Amino acid sequence: MNTDFLKACQGEKTSRTPIWIMRQAGRYLPDYHKVRSKMTFLELCKTPEKAAEVTLQPVDILGVDAAILFSDILVVLEAMGMKLEFQEKKGPVLPEPITCRADVDRLQVPDAEDELGYVMATIRILRQELADKVPLIGFCGAPFTLATYMIEGGSSKAFFNTKKMMYSAPELYKAMMDKVTDFTINYLKAQAAAGAQALQIFDSWAGALAPIDFGEFALPYVKRIIAALKDSTVPLIYFANNGATLLEQSRTSGADVLGMDWRISLADAARIVGPDISLQGNLDPCALLLPEDKLEKRVAAILAEGKEARGHIFNLGHGILPETPPEKAKFVVECVHRLSS
């Protein structure tokens, strides 16, 4: 098996810099559309053979050094009893958002194997199919990022209702976060037990928080999750999108790897996080639209900066855009391998 990704997570030497791409399975791939056209997004997530099939697509097409489970951070909320829909064009909708104590009390903290057994079934299929290829990454949403969907009822830009609850009803907010955190711990342990070999916590909207609020309303729950999984030997990656200003705090999360968006240089990030944490990132997803010669120069610059870190896993600074030509993603993978070996 190609273990470069797992080695880089732990800061061990690798033959070349490993790369995977956030949202590498999905809408930019014609092969994904072919499978997806026959069912809804949630049906795809809940059909282990098909979810495994689309997970494997980028491994075969792009040659990345890790697979990431095909699922979504929001299935956790459905498992906790919230209604969840994915509407074409609009994205996720939670028609009954959390507004009061009764809503929080109604949230369930079930056993992940019972409510999300289809995820663990997908992981088990994938470990069989990936046996001699690359490691499998499992994932979850960070509690704060999940909270934004729970309270706003879908995607948001300003997170007004979330902040309003944080500031005007902190007890309610924290009771909700405790439940989400407890279930997430149970869920990640189940993913690791089923065979996930690394786990990434996606905090997509952490960058919307002032440092003081990040320290009170987001990071403590991430720390609790990571502490609860420390015995599992599975490396943990924490990705706080738009989080360069939060890095002094994120470095205390306990994660083995911190994911970086493109708004900070990896050399600066390495100086802040120090010698005990590996870095992942951080090419701007839009840079995949550059012509190849310019794109290659960007890749080379990031590889050079990544040398400053304990370990470096190449990735984009956020998810790959649906508009990206797959050949460009393949070109980046090839560049990373060629330039780093």
Q: Is 187 a catalytic residue?
A: no
Q: Identify how many contiguous H helices and E strands the chain contains and give both numbers.
A: 17, 9
36 touches ligand 1CP (CB under 6 A): yes
Active-site option among 4, 65, 72, 256: 72
**Binding test (CB under 6 A) with ligand 1CP, winner from 202, 214, 238, 262:** 202
Q: Please, what is the angle between helix 326-340 and helix 292-306, to 10°? A: 50
Q: How far is the CB of 36 from ligand 1CP (least distance, A)?
A: 5
Cβ atoms of 281 and 246 within 8 Å: the answer is no
Rounded to whole angstroms, the Cα distance separating 6 from 260 reads: 18
Cα–Cα distance list, 222 to 16, 200, 215, 294, 302 (Å)? 30, 11, 10, 37, 27
Q: How far is the CB of 300 from ligand 1CP (least distance, A)?
A: 25
Active-site option among 28, 32, 65, 149: 149
Q: Which 8-state DSSP code applies to residue 154? A: B
142 touches ligand 1CP (CB under 6 A): no
Kindly write out the interface string for residues 266-305 of this chain, putting x where it contacts ligand 1CP by CB under 6 A and - elsewhere. ----------------------------------------
Stretch that binds ligand 1CP, among 21-29, 115-123, 213-221, 270-278 (CB under 6 A): 21-29
Q: Does residue 241 have a cis peptide bond before it, meaning omega lies within 30 degrees of 0?
A: no
The closest alpha carbon to 84, from 22, 24, 130, 42, belongs to 42
Question: Three-class SS of residue 133?
Answer: coil
319 touches ligand 1CP (CB under 6 A): yes
196 touches ligand 1CP (CB under 6 A): no
Question: Using CB under 6 A as the criterion, which residues of the chain lie in contact with ligand 1CP when the complex forms?
Answer: 22-27, 36, 41, 68, 70-74, 86, 91-92, 139, 155, 202, 204, 241, 319
> What residues are labeled active site?
23, 27, 36, 72, 149
